Structure 1
Amino acid sequence: MAGDVEYTIDELAREAGTTVRSLRVYAERGILPPPQVKGRTGFYGPDHLNRVQTISRLLDRGIKLNGIRELLEAWDRGDDLGDILGVAEPGATQSTAPSAVDTIAATELEQRYREVPNGLARVVSAGLYEPVDAATYRIADPQLIRSFDQLAGAGIPVDALLGELERLRADCDRIARRFVDLFHRTAWEPYQRSERTSTDRAALAARLVETKIQPGQVTAELVNRFIARYLDQDTDLAEVLPDA
């Protein structure tokens, strides 16, 4: 076990920004190695923390737990997946401090969006940037920034893009709330009425993990499908690009 730092399961969950339930699911699925047991207590180390952080990043990318297990098994075999997945080497210590490359002065960011009314406040509230301190900001969502910059580079006015992003965030928030309500009605409330056995807890934990992943996948698929349908129905566009 790398390093001298040790965590109980509660401490590991807190350090990794997740829940004990999720850690138990990861262990049951075989993607989190067992702890070192001392007496009657299991202790986790930096390698476990790095593994949980990797799992969280892969879940954020929409990869299911079975797929994550396959990827991590390949990684443990020594396959060169680090560069592809953007994850650290096993046992590497990850710093949460922003680097100079990731940060931007508040004055520069304000100047960058000077043509947009309330530009600085809007790019922050839209989730593109977040404050480090009063004078410095950093990119909050690199993937979102890349997509935003690509659309802006294609000629869409930044003000219009921000407006669409603001509406999209509001729509996504409503969708998320509906799925969370559905989870509470169909998983959490039945669990509270159950005998709360280990099997009941495992089923609840599995539903929790699925609820964090599947709604986003379904939503993205439906949005892409509807976009394609509406564009395909545009007869004027079809005359110009008949094979598109």
Structure 2
Amino acid sequence: MSAGVEYTIDELARAADTTVRSVRVYHERGVLPPPQVKGRTGFYSREHLNRIRTISRLLDRGIKLNGIRELLEAWDRGDDLGDVLGVSEAEELDGAAAGSGETISATDLDERYRAVPNGLTRVVAAGLYEPVDATTYRIADPQLIAVAEQLGAAGVPVADVLDELDRLRGDCERISRRFVELFQRTAWQPFLESERTAADVAELAERAEVTRTAPGRLAAELVNRYTARYLAQDTELNEALPGA
């Protein structure tokens, strides 16, 4: 294990926004390497944390742990990941709907992201594309792809776009968890202790809808506000812009 930050299993689970039980399951299923044992305590590295985050993204795409193990083993060996990711949907997708989204050949997708190390794997793990069969991929999230392409057209390297998308996903997941925990404390738990009348159910439904929609609007507003503020503080940039 490389030098740097070390985590106990509890600390690793908290950092990865998962549970100790999940970490142990990942060990049992062979998708997470064992920790370094010092005395009687196992310590995990930043590589373990990154691996768990990758596993979580792949699970979100409906890929089973067996498929994830095969994918990560191939990744570690440096094999052709296009072949691994192209395993039949029946084996790797956990009941995900087939859908009818726009498709792209594995060759074209690999070519599109050839400048990015493990580019094909990364765009699938990021949820932008998903395998249909051994030779075809489907667009899984057209909105994210459109924003990524807009950034690329503005001159941001594709690898940097994917890095920022990875970080943004992690940030958004943490924000979402906090709002859901807030809902559970202030709405769900009181509902469980209520008489569960029709009025109680209606109030719960209203608060659940607010929890589903308000965090995104709030986060978007704050991100746009802070981004504009930081750009405005760059004197040299504003002097170079016309009309500044």
TM-score (norm 2): 0.58
- In structure 1, what is the equivalent of residue 16 of structure 2? none
Letter in 1 for 2:229: R
TM-score (norm 1): 0.58
Distance 1:123 1:116 in 2: 10
Distance 1:177 1:97 in 2: 28
How far did residue 146 of structure 1 move? 1.1
SS at match of 2:123: helix
Q: Which runs of 5+ in 2 are unaligned?
A: 1-96
Highest RCO, 1 vs 2 (Cα 8 Å, sep ≥ 6):
1
Letter in 2 for 1:243: G
Q: Which runs of 5+ in 1 are unaligned?
A: 1-94
Distance 2:219 2:112 in 1: 32
Distance 1:131 1:200 in 2: 44
1:239 aligns with 2:239: yes
Distance 1:168 1:97 in 2: 26
C-alpha distance after superposition, 1:70-115 (max 9, x if no partner): xxxxxxxxxxxxxxxxxxxxxxxxx96315xx01122221121111
How far did residue 135 of structure 1 move? 2.8
SS at match of 2:132: strand
Distance 1:114 1:187 in 2: 48
- In structure 2, what is the equivalent of residue 97 of structure 1? 99
Distance 1:174 1:134 in 2: 34
- In structure 1, what is the equivalent of residue 226 of structure 2? 226
Judging changes above 3 Å, is the alpha-carbon distance between structure 1 residues 153 and 242 closer, same or farther for their aligned structure 2 residues? Answer: closer
Letter in 2 for 1:128: L
How far did residue 196 of structure 1 move? 0.5
- In structure 1, what is the equivalent of residue 177 of structure 2? 177
SS at match of 2:243: coil
* Percent of aligned pairs with the same amino acid: 62
1:130 aligns with 2:146: no
Query: Would you say how many aligned residue pairs link Structure 1 and Structure 2?
Result: 148
Backbone CA RMSD of aligned residues: 1.6
Judging changes above 3 Å, is the alpha-carbon distance between structure 1 residues 205 and 225 closer, same or farther for their aligned structure 2 residues? Answer: same
Residue pairs, 1:24-173, within 5 angstroms: 97-98=99-100, 102-173=102-173
